[in-house]
Amino acid sequence: MILEVNVNSMEETRQLAESLAGVITSGTVILLEGNLGAGKTTFTQFIGTALGVKRRMSSPTFNIIKSYNAEYVIHHMDCYRLEHSEEDLGFDEYFNGEDISIVEWPQYIEDFLPEEYLSIAIENKFDDTRLFTLKSNGDKYVTILEALENVITSD
């Protein structure tokens, strides 16, 4: 399933993230794609806040992985620095069926990704305007996107 959502402001981006946070379940893996400055980290921060993360979620560019305790344990990964690396940082420990994992630049760790996930491509349009293209890969993620579509169309 593919769901496209246009957002025209930071507030609408926050609302989309909150809506998504409301329908994901334990073990959810979200892959965020988009160019530099597309809003991947901001979107992740909004999801984290909606799930109860109390501290500021910053980009884990240098750490690669940061974990946060909230309603779920949330692992935020920025794999940009792994572009020419084949190093396994124990990714299977993070994709464990219980925690939420949000991965920026997933194309650099393709060999370590689980078989099922939610892919979100963020495309800059103008200023705060973005096109979010959400794609399910697996039955669980079809269910998540159907629930999200119901939530955002009923607003």
Q: Order of strands, edge to edge, in the sheet holding 65-69?
A: 2-7, 130-137, 117-124, 29-33, 100-104, 73-78, 65-69
**Residue-wise pLDDT tens digits, 108-128:** 889 899 999 999 999 998 777
Q: Which domains does the chain have, with CATH numbers?
A: 8-127+137-154 (3.40.50.300)
Specify the pLDDT at position 85.
Answer: 67
In whole angstroms, what is the distance from residue 107 CA to residue 66 CA?
Answer: 19
Computed over every residue of the chain, the mean pLDDT equals 90
pTM above 0.75, yes or no: yes
